[in-house]
Amino acid sequence: MFLEHGWSNNDQVVTKRQSDGGNPMTVTYKYTVALDLGKKQHVASIFDTESSEQQQSVKVPVNQAGFSRLERLLQTYSPDSSAFLVGCESTGHVGETLLRRLQADGYTVVRMNPAQVVQFRRGLGRRAKTDKLDAEAMALQLSVTDFVPEQLASETARTLQRMTRLRLDFVEEQGRWVNRVRALVNQIYPEIEALLGDITTSTALAVLTSYPSRLSLAGAPLSELTKIVEKASRKNKGSVYARSLQKAAKQSVGLDDPWLTTELELVLRQLLTVRDNVKSLEREIAMLTEQLLQELSEDLGVEEPLTLDSFPIGTHLSIGTLLAEIGSVERFPTIKHLLSYFGWCPNTKESGSSKSPNPKMSHQGNRFVRRILWMLSVAAVRWVPEYVDYYQRRLDAGKNKMKTIVAVGRKLLSAIFAILRDGQPYDPDRYLQQQMKASNT
């Protein structure tokens, strides 16, 4: 679905040209409503596109009375919600309660790029800055600038997005606690750090939790230590490994300060809690991803429902993150729009005849997708035959490795975009045919 704003013939009424199945339609917005969002109070400014005049700006407290008052005010201008285009800066959770309520009432909502809002306001030549002036500037910007109205994602997609983002927060927190554990181990019994290896393994955590000091590990009965090691490692490690741990503890130069032991116990407890939260979220994400793929398949009306196997590569976590952040694929007319949305494109800079020969990647895209897409690209050039071949051919031609990974990410995202748009699973043979056709042109 392609959405485009522009002036009507009389240069007064904002219009939206919408392509639906190849049949263009025109929707007219008589009013634009800009919301300057705040935690306790919003400011709404109403602009009449027919007279090209600001109508009024009102304060909207974040409560039932404030929201109801705004709704009644809008109805005095027009009882038809389709006559309004409502816009605000994309500011995360702030204002979400009001925006959801307006969308449920049928109002069209757009999220505006904060950087573009600032540039537009500066272009007006205004030195003063208040919430009222900001809202008025945004209302005017809505009336003269191209915007794509937000399409409300399904409840499953919204939940999946929150769960994948929450998991990332927990993973980052887990990394901080792991570093804290390593620092304490290095002080308490530095010699066993190399023997434990990855601190997050079940074996390492079981040993450290049971024996949080050098003296407790050194004086533990070998049979007891062996039993703990065998249970945690599922008998991959046994008495030999337990004996090496105890020997290192007895000969350790570590510190025996009681407060270090107490701190390690508390930090390990927190690490285990976060680790359990991550595992719980990953199970939830797997179920939500399957559910969302089923919903997408039903919407597309395909005979064979989409599954993880429908994609070139990916897990529930990676594919689920991409699906949640993409939302409705209809928001993006072409793959270029999707690449730009995620910032998986060069940040081109040109001026006259001057042009950067090697532009850097844009850093303005969705950080959640950029991370996942990079990991998928690295995995694809190792495990997916056609991408392995593509990667090697570029390297043989003298191309840079990092730029080749970026190119692979673009191809992966193109394939995922086509799968979600058409409902057809990824076909390696079709992919190779397209590559041959592209190389011959």
Give me the pLDDT at residue 132, please: 93
Give me the pLDDT at residue 127, please: 79
* Per-residue pLDDT band at 6 (split at 50, 70, 90): very low
Considering the chain, what is the average pLDDT of its residues? 87
Handedness of CA 435, 410, 406, 161 (dihedral sign): negative
How far apart are alpha carbons 338 and 422 in whole angstroms?
A: 16
How far apart are alpha carbons 34 and 98 in whole angstroms?
A: 12
For the record, the structure tokens of 54 come out as: 């600001």
358 against 390, higher pLDDT: 390
132 against 357, higher pLDDT: 132
Per-residue b or e along 242-274, where b marks 16 or more CB atoms closer than 10 Å to that residue's CB: beebbebbeebebbeeeebbebbeebbeebeeb
Hey, which bits of 279-352 come out as E strands?
Answer: 350-351
* Per-residue pLDDT band at 344 (split at 50, 70, 90): confident
Q: Is the pLDDT assigned to residue 433 strictly greater than 80? A: no
Q: What is the mean pLDDT of residues 103-121?
A: 91
Give me the pLDDT at residue 429, please: 80
DSSP string, 145-187: S---PPPPPPHHHHHHHHHHHHHHHHHHHHHHHHHHHHHHHHH
pLDDT in tens, 191-208: 999 999 999 999 999 999
Provide the 8-state DSSP code for 332.
Answer: -
Is the separation of the CB atoms in 336 and 2 below 8 Å?
no
* Per-residue pLDDT band at 49 (split at 50, 70, 90): very high
Q: Which residue has the tokens 């919204």?
A: 158
For the record, the structure tokens of 8 come out as: 């009507």
- Partners of residue 15 on adjacent β-strands: 6, 28
Strand pairing class (84-89; 108-112): parallel
Is the separation of the CB atoms in 331 and 148 below 8 Å?
yes
Q: What is the mean pLDDT of residues 381-402?
A: 93
Give me the pLDDT at residue 183, please: 96
Q: What is the mean pLDDT of residues 388-397?
A: 93
Q: Is the pLDDT assigned to residue 346 strictly greater than 70? A: no
How far apart are alpha carbons 374 and 381 in whole angstroms?
A: 11
300 Cβ contact list (under 8 Å, min separation 6): 422, 423
259 Cβ contact list (under 8 Å, min separation 6): none
Q: What is the mean pLDDT of residues 267-286?
A: 97
Length of the chain: 441
Structural domains of the chain ordered from first start:
2-152 (3.30.420), 159-276 (1.10.287.4070), 306-348+360-440 (no CATH)
* Per-residue pLDDT band at 17 (split at 50, 70, 90): very low
Provide the 8-state DSSP code for 361.
Answer: B
Greatest extent of the chain over all pairs of C-alpha atoms, in Å: 90
Give me the pLDDT at residue 238, please: 94
362 against 9, higher pLDDT: 362
Q: Apex CA 282: angle with CA 278 and CA 285, to 5°?
A: 135
In 3D space, the residue among 413, 420, 431, 152 whose CA is nearest the CA of residue 302 turns out to be 420
Provide the 8-state DSSP code for 359.
Answer: P
Q: Is the pLDDT assigned to residue 21 strictly greater than 50? A: no
Percent of the chain past pLDDT 90, that is, above it, reads: 71
In 3D space, the residue among 172, 148, 170, 161 whose CA is nearest the CA of residue 322 turns out to be 161
Give me the pLDDT at residue 241, please: 96
How far apart are alpha carbons 137 and 131 in whole angstroms?
A: 10
Q: What is the mean pLDDT of residues 377-384?
A: 95
At residue 3, the 3 state secondary structure works out as: strand
For the record, the structure tokens of 386 come out as: 């056609």
How far apart are alpha carbons 378 and 430 in whole angstroms?
A: 22
User: What pTM was estimated for this model as a whole?
Assistant: 0.82
* Per-residue pLDDT band at 13 (split at 50, 70, 90): very low
* Per-residue pLDDT band at 356 (split at 50, 70, 90): low
How far apart are alpha carbons 315 and 318 in whole angstroms?
A: 5
pLDDT in tens, 213-264: 999 999 999 999 999 999 999 999 999 999 999 999 999 999 999 999 999 9
* Per-residue pLDDT band at 15 (split at 50, 70, 90): very low
Q: Is the pLDDT assigned to residue 350 strictly greater than 70? A: no
Percent of the chain past pLDDT 70, that is, above it, reads: 87
Q: Is the pLDDT assigned to residue 438 strictly greater than 70? A: no
How far apart are alpha carbons 176 and 374 in whole angstroms?
A: 22
- Describe the crossing of helices 96-104 and 64-77 by its angle, rounded to 10 degrees: 40
What are the C-alpha distances in Å from 388 to residues 258, 380, 400, 419, 430? 54, 7, 15, 21, 16
pLDDT in tens, 292-321: 999 999 999 998 999 999 999 999 999 999
In 3D space, the residue among 341, 347, 330 whose CA is nearest the CA of residue 370 turns out to be 341
Give me the pLDDT at residue 333, please: 87
* Per-residue pLDDT band at 63 (split at 50, 70, 90): very high
Give me the pLDDT at residue 375, please: 94
Give me the pLDDT at residue 182, please: 95
Q: Is the pLDDT assigned to residue 2 strictly greater than 50? A: no
283 against 2, higher pLDDT: 283
For residue 6, the tally of other CB atoms under 10 A from its CB is 12
Is the separation of the CB atoms in 110 and 142 below 8 Å?
yes
13 against 65, higher pLDDT: 65
For residue 330, the tally of other CB atoms under 10 A from its CB is 13
